[in-house]
Amino acid sequence: MPSPIIRIDNIVKRFGPLTVLDGLSMDVMPGEKLALIGPSGSGKTTILRILMTLESISGGHIEVDGEQLYHMKKGADLVPADEHHLHRMRKKIGMVFQHFNLFPHKCVLDNITLAPMLTQGVARSDAEKRAMELLDMVGMADKAKSVPAQLSGGQKQRVAIARALALSPKIMLFDEVTSALDPELVEEVLSVMKRLAAETDMTMLLVTHEMGFAHDFADRVLFFDRGKIVEEGRPEEIFSNPRQERTQTFLRKII
Ligand code: ADP
């Protein structure tokens, strides 16, 4: 039995007086595809941001790929040990954001090659070769020289996916990647992600309001409410036969 690639043990996250996560524990196995669902404000995005070390934590332990993510005390919070540690841990995880976060003045190709060249010392020719393979995979090879302003939201998001993949992370985090898109552009992004989920052994965590997509994408669905996992299970269990009343109410409203 392999060990979990992510172990979240009793984490607490406060924003000032607001406790967003209150003793959350969960494990993720290597290669697992997880969907995090639940009402707005239940802490789903905060979990992804904590894993990406974009937030500190107020208590608890997180282990990623066998290493503690946070262990330094800073005021009331825990932060990564130092820049070196942060850099090493960030290489393990890639994240795709709701609002793409592409560099606006760089062409698509540069958006993808910049980080591997600067942070991993990859030679330009190798970075460009890999970027073109990834662009091909997301159906964007013909836009390599375009700048983000020339692309639709769906195209930008496909570039953002390729950019995160270029760093070859073991874990990918997807935060509401379709919620800023016009409805007709959602499908092209979802189909890229479904293919990715089916074809790679990367571990993937997805926060989404697209229940049909969560159903098709995930091996396991976690339903969150108020910073806690209320229910988890295989997609067919959660979506067809939720046991908890809060899950039932949420799904009735959203589907
Ligand atoms: P979800 O992704 O489930 O919608 P979030 O993780 O985005 O939930 O947010 C959980 C709660 O934390 C919300 O009440 C939100 O307002 C609050 N929150 C998130 N980020 C911050 C922040 N930087 N400062 C203060 N409150 C925050």
pLDDT top residue among 204 and 86 = 204
Atom from ligand 1 closest to the CA of residue 175: 2
Top mutation candidate among 18, 95, 225 for ligand 1, by most atoms within 8 Å of CB: 18
Average pLDDT over residues 56-74: 85
Q: Is 46 in the pocket of ligand 1 (CB under 6 A)?
A: yes
Cα dist from 139 to 27, 68, 76, 207, whole Å = 33, 37, 46, 23
Return d(Cα 100, Cα 112) in angstroms, integer: 13
The secondary structure of the chain as a DSSP string is: -PPPSEEEEEEEEEETTEEEEEEEEEEE-TT-EEEEE-STTSSHHHHHHHHTTSS-BSEEEEEETTEES--EEETTEEE-S-HHHHHHHHTTEEEE-TT----TTS-HHHHHHHHHHHHH---HHHHHHHHHHHHHHTT-GGGTT--GGGS-HHHHHHHHHHHHHTT--SEEEEESTTTTS-HHHHHHHHHHHHHHHHH---EEEEE-S-HHHHHHH-SEEEEEETTEEEEEE-HHHHHHS--SHHHHHHHHHH-
Q: Is 13 in the pocket of ligand 1 (CB under 6 A)?
A: no
pLDDT band at residue 255 using 50, 70 and 90 as cut-offs:
low
Average pLDDT over residues 65-71: 85
Q: Is 227 in the pocket of ligand 1 (CB under 6 A)?
A: no
Whether pLDDT at 140 is above 70: yes
Cβ atoms of 170 and 203 closer than 8 Å: yes
pLDDT top residue among 96 and 88 = 96
- pLDDT, mean over the chain: 92
Whether pLDDT at 85 is above 80: no
Distance 27 CA to ligand 1 centre (A): 22
Task: Please give the pLDDT value at position 91.
Answer: 86
Q: Is 44 in the pocket of ligand 1 (CB under 6 A)?
A: yes
Average pLDDT over residues 103-117: 96
Top mutation candidate among 20, 40, 175 for ligand 1, by most atoms within 8 Å of CB: 20
Whole-structure pTM value? 0.92
| ipTM of model | 0.97
Average pLDDT over residues 177-201: 90
Q: Is 247 in the pocket of ligand 1 (CB under 6 A)?
A: no
Atom from ligand 1 closest to the CA of residue 38: 3
Whether pLDDT at 190 is above 70: yes
Cα dist from 83 to 46, 69, 71, 100, 178, whole Å = 21, 12, 13, 25, 32
Cβ atoms of 13 and 21 closer than 8 Å: yes
Task: Please give the pLDDT value at position 82.
Answer: 72
Q: Is 42 in the pocket of ligand 1 (CB under 6 A)?
A: yes
Distance 22 CA to ligand 1 centre (A): 13
pLDDT top residue among 54 and 109 = 109
Q: Using one digit for the tens of pLDDT, what is the confidence trace for 229-245?
A: 999 999 999 999 999 99
Whether pLDDT at 161 is above 80: yes
